[in-house]
Amino acid sequence: MALNATIYKADLQISDMDRHYYQAHSLVLARHPSETLERLMARLLVFSCFASEELEFTRDLSEADVPALWARDLTGQITLWIEMGQPDERRILKACGRADQVLVVCYHANSPLWWKQNKSKLTRAKNLQVWYLPAEFAARLAGLAERNMQLQCMIQDQQIWFSSGEESVQLELERWK
93-124: pLDDT as tens digits:
999 999 999 999 999 889 999 999 999 999 99
72-97: pLDDT as tens digits:
999 999 999 999 999 999 999 999 99
> What are the structural domain ranges in the chain?
6-175
CATH superfamily membership of 6-175: Restriction endonuclease-like alpha-beta roll domain (3.10.640.10)
Please name which of 108, 106, 166, 173 lies closest in space to residue 136, comparing C-alpha atoms. 108
Question: Residue 34: its pLDDT value, please?
Answer: 85
Question: Residue 79: its pLDDT value, please?
Answer: 96
User: Is it the case that residue 66 has pLDDT exceeding 80?
Assistant: yes
Question: Residue 16: its pLDDT value, please?
Answer: 96
Q: State pTM to two decimals.
A: 0.89
At residue 56 the predicted structure's pLDDT band, cuts being 50, 70 and 90, is very high
Dihedrals φ, ψ of 16, to 5°? -105, 95
User: Is it the case that residue 62 has pLDDT exceeding 70?
Assistant: no
The Cα 160–Cα 92 span in angstroms is: 26
